[in-house]
A and B are shown apart, each in its own frame.
Chain A
């Protein structure tokens, strides 16, 4: 089902299918989820079977996003009655505390859950998000590092850690995180490009030399990548100001030629910018 076709679903099965698709594709459509979910929960409860509880969970999260407290209340109460203090319900209670600004209570729940099950990745992530929300950046970094000791293959977590470092202009640490991401996605142009930009941002000759290679790799992966062309141009200019060499001169000329070609037909003139 195409994501554009989610709206205006008629019939309860179509609405339920749409909710399932939105959940599986991890789309963010809280208004639509609330609209379909509310209809299903009120008018078609007896038809839903076990899907009723999935819809309840979907509507709970959608109600937080759309500020619909009556639905938050309805769904959490229904889920509490049915499942008691299970992991998912407890996590929802924590999120509810977060939403109402009761961060200490939320943290207490997450810590209790992690004491019981230290391998509960979703709760680790809530705890990290809570630290970020409350501006406790050092705690967020420490918790992410602890999490990554166990879940080393979690690329989203490496990206999150890199994002925190980048937000605080800690390029060396961000580049370290991106090394892990590059290993998992060696042919992803955007990942290579971001890694190269971080290496360049560190600003030492050694790192800029390495950045030059990764910018070139990004251009090889996507020969339309203007951002990588600019990166290559900057690296060559940086290296030129130190110890000049023939390879760098050739690469600088190549970067200029690529940029001039890329800017043909652009409203921005760059010929006077390229030294």
Chain B
């Protein structure tokens, strides 16, 4: 599998803008596509609850979700790996019959050397295995995505103002 092409630039761009829009907060989003990740839908920048998650998944019912991305403020000794919340979402997705479920973890501090990590939920739906991923992504490549795109709408924003479109079709 060509992991560098597994996630489309559009999806990386949206997830990077989402992270940059909410510095100092945990952000979560969905990865959509078929066999590859074609797009990303920003979900939350506040602590997600079951109530908000269910609404988000209801709205995304027209999309084929194949994973999630997240960027969390972690403790000094914590590894860059999926959170309990994202793990539960992935397991629910797996139980609904998804063939493969992926998680893209993004560092909250873009000065780190390994800024992203891609994980795949195993077939039993219990553990994640780290996938090889394009290591060339660094602070510069993510920062480049931000040029011309200071704003992005997530489901949290949409629930505060339904006129805001979480599909973010202005970002190409």
Measuring CB to CB, which residues of chain A are less than 8 angstroms from any residue of chain B? 101, 103, 132-137, 163, 166-169, 171, 194, 196-198, 200-201, 203, 211, 226-227, 230-231, 234, 262-263, 265-268, 270, 273
Contacts and interface: CB of A to CB of B under 8 A. Distances in A.
Interface stretch (B93-101, B134-142, B157-165): B157-165
A81 B115 CA distance: 42
Nearest to B162: A266
B77 A169 contact: no
A83 B125 CA distance: 58
Given A167-B47, A200-B50, A203-B50, A265 B75 contact: no
Contact of A268 (B49, B52, B59, B85): B59
A135 B77 contact: yes
Q: Is the interface of A mostly helix, strand, loop or mixed?
A: helix
Contacts of A201: 49-51
Contact of A230 (B26, B159, B166): B159
Contact of B163 (A211, A234, A266, A273): A266
Contacts of B162: 226, 262-263, 266, 268
Interface of B: 26, 47, 49-52, 54-55, 58-59, 61, 74-78, 83-85, 88, 158-163, 165-167
B75 A166 contact: no
B61 A273 contact: yes
Contacts of A267: 163, 165, 167
22 contacts: A133-B75, A133-B76, A134-B75, A134-B76, A135-B74, A168-B84, A169-B85, A171-B50, A194-B49, A197-B50, A198-B49, A201-B49, A226-B161, A230-B51, A230-B159, A266-B162, A266-B163, A267-B165, A267-B167, A270-B59, A273-B58, A273-B61
A234 B54 contact: yes
Contacts of B159: 226-227, 230
B29 to A, nearest CB: 17
